[in-house]
Amino acid sequence: MLPWLVVGRISVVIPYYNRARFIDDCLASVFAQRRAPDEIIVVDDASRPDERRHLDKFLPRIRIVDQPRNGGVSAARNAGVRAATGEWVAFNDSDDVWVADKLAIQVAHVEQSPGCDGVHSAVRAFYDDGRIAVSDPIAPRLTLADALHDNMIRVQCLLIKTSVMRAIGGFDETLRCCEDDDLGIRLASRGYQLDYLAEPLTEMRRGNYDHLFSNWRRIIRGKATVALRHRALLEQTLGRGATRRRIARAVRKVGDMRGGVVGRVLFAGGWLAGGFDRATD
């Protein structure tokens, strides 16, 4: 039997907000998939009128879901999941692109892996200055301890059962960032099987145009919110002080990525807050 007959229909969900300059490349990579998706849903999160009109040129190859007001990426993804008709949903971001075999490779893995509820992969980040970096390898299967230690799932790589996303209530719409951290913890804590492929299947754009890491206060606040929300699990699973160590790691990571005087101060502050504990690495 063909793998995609085992997997069933796949819906692609792409949140979109004023990204006309990037969406063409994103959708071109989805249209070029060797295992074509069964539907492509672009959720417009109340973009400016000219940016919203840009999507119309892709009709009828895409479905457009219009949000009545800007609710953030989590609300947009949830709207896409509600609209999805596929048994599986694959997420991408409007400024990122997939390699041509992305869905085919993931479908083949699911077909060969009974019990798999979702599969994600490494990413290849590309920068405005031409630099390229591949994400560090992680364990082949998500564990609760790993999910609590740090974010393990990049959503733009994720193919997951639609029923699983609906069962856990989707993304937390109160989180304007770090919603992927929260998602991984909730999936692992409920016993869902999430597998990881070391091959980079998504190319992630990194730049200063509106990227999350340009707002270091926002990401530290988001990481802290997730850690405090799951404090009981953190302390029970990773030991006393795990909540503090997770927040300290976030501060260090943001400091390292930001650079400059502020970055060095944040990095040093993360070391101090973590008690110079290597467990924050």
pLDDT digits (tens, 9 = 90+) for 153-176: 999 999 999 999 999 999 999 998
Q: Given this model, what pLDDT does residue 185 score?
A: 98
- Give the separation between CA 54 and CA 19, rounded to whole angstroms: 9
The answer, yes or no, to whether residue 71 has pLDDT greater than 90, is yes
Q: Which of 88, 101, 72, 51 has its CA nearest to residue 203? A: 101
Q: Given this model, what pLDDT does residue 206 score?
A: 84
Q: Please state which of the ranges 114-123, 207-216, 217-226, 236-245 shows the lowest mean pLDDT.
A: 207-216
Domain ranges of the chain: 3-206, 212-280
- How crowded is the C-beta side of 69, counted as CA atoms within 13 Å? 1
| Residue at 1: amino acid letter | M
- Give the separation between CA 95 and CA 118, rounded to whole angstroms: 23
Q: Given this model, what pLDDT does residue 204 score?
A: 95
Q: Which CATH superfamily is domain 3-206 in?
A: Spore Coat Polysaccharide Biosynthesis Protein SpsA; Chain A (3.90.550.10)
Which is higher by pLDDT, 8 or 254? 8
Q: Phi and psi at residue 42, in whole multiples of 5°?
A: -105, 120
The answer, yes or no, to whether residue 4 has pLDDT greater than 70, is no
Mean local confidence (pLDDT), 125-138: 91
Written as six digits, the tokens of 89 are: 């949903």
Mean local confidence (pLDDT), 30-36: 98
Q: Given this model, what pLDDT does residue 276 score?
A: 42
pTM for the predicted model, two decimal places:
0.90
The answer, yes or no, to whether residue 280 has pLDDT greater than 60, is no
